Every structure is written in C-alpha cells, then in structure tokens.
Chain A
Amino acid sequence: GAVVSQHPSWVICKSGTSVKIECRSLDFQATTMFWYRQFPKQSLMLMATSNEGSKATYEQGVEKDKFLINHASLTLSTLTVTSAHPEDSSFYICSALLGGNQPQHFGDGTRLSIL
C-alpha cells in the first residue's frame, strides 16, 4: 500500500534553532502534500497545502515566513520551522495524496520539543 515516511520522528533543540522535517512518499508520486499540527489533547489542524513546483498555500493564522515549505519533487516535501521557540513545540504530521478517489496517507509524525 501507499507509504509515507516522515523524518525525524523526534527532535529536541534549543530556542532559536531552525528545524527541517521531511515528508516522503515512498512508493507513489504525490503532487499534493499537506502539513498538519497537533497540540496535546487537541485535534489536528491543517497548516498548509504543498503543491509540487509551486508555492504552498497557508491556512489563516499560519506564518509563512516561520514555517517554510518546499515541495521540490513529486516524492518530497519539507517543512522548516525557522527560529523555533517553545510555543512551536508540537506534533507535526504530513500527508500525501495518491490521486483520484483515494484517501490521504499520513506519515508517522514528528514530535518537536523546543527548550
């Protein structure tokens, strides 16, 4: 079946650091990938839609200069949290579209902790 790999699975870093998270579709090409964020005890909230070869579309309230998204190929999208602060600590999870009448497939998520 369709597999989405997300890396790293866990990051702990100091405040002010930039962190890059990768999302790869391993056995299919994904023209569209999505990035979600989940705070403890809450639901998942969409941050942005990433389309291969074009700029990402950000949801209202998500700072595009802080959360940089690059979708340079049909199998890879990256999310970079720039100058991360403790309030950016969260669970970040990506998904990829196989296309047609198919469900979204999700990565295993990245738990980001900023000290």
Chain B
Amino acid sequence: GIQVEQSPPDLILQEGANSTLRCNFSDSVNNLQWFHQNPWGQLINLFYIPSGTKQNGRLSATTVATERYSLLYISSSQTTDSGVYFCAVGPGTASKLTFGTGTRLQVTL
C-alpha cells in the first residue's frame, strides 16, 4: 500500500514564528487532505488539496503530485495551533485514506 511519511516528527515554535510541514507519499494519489488534531482528538479538516496551492488565513498548502509531496505552511503561529498535523492520501477521490506519521507541533509563548 501507499506509504506516507511526514517531517519533522516534532516541532517546537515560539509564538509568531513560521513553519513548514512536509508530507511525502510513495505512489500517485488523487486525494490528499491535511488535518489538525486538537488535544481533544478532534480532526479539523484544513485542506483538500490533491494538487496545486490553497490558502486559508495564516495557513497555506501546496501539493506537487508529480513529485509526490505536499507542504503545509503555518505563518505567525499561535498557541492554538498546537496539536498534531496529519496528511492523509488516497488513490481515488472516493477511496479510503492512508494517514501519515504526523507532526506534533507545540507553540510556546
């Protein structure tokens, strides 16, 4: 099956800093989603981005499908950004998702 690796595994930032999270996947995909899992376990859907670039406030994401990676950018980080960030991929738009290994982010004051 598809292998999904995320880096870095852990990240500590001071409030206001910027960061880039990376998601590498081993096969072609037609579905890619970025999630933020908050401390209560809720998965917040950040982006549905099988290709191209999208922005939503302080967050943006880019997927280069031909090179099998996606990047999530967080600018001006806030303590509420803390949690685990997952990318998840699937071969088709209606297929099951394979989740990446996750990046655990801690934003400090």
Contacts and interface: CB of A to CB of B under 8 A. Distances in A.
Interface of A: 32, 34, 36, 38, 43-46, 49, 91, 93, 95, 97, 99-106, 108-109, 111
A7 to B, nearest CB: 14
Contacts of A106: 35, 43, 45
Contacts of B40: 108
A73 B41 CA distance: 27
Contact of A103 (B33, B86, B98, B100): B33
Interface of B: 31, 33, 35, 40-43, 45, 48, 86, 88, 93-94, 96-102
B48 A102 contact: yes
A44 B43 CA distance: 11
Nearest to B98: A46
Nearest to A48: B96
Contacts of A103: 31, 33, 45, 48
A44 B99 contact: yes
Contacts of A36: 99
Contacts of B96: 34, 46, 49
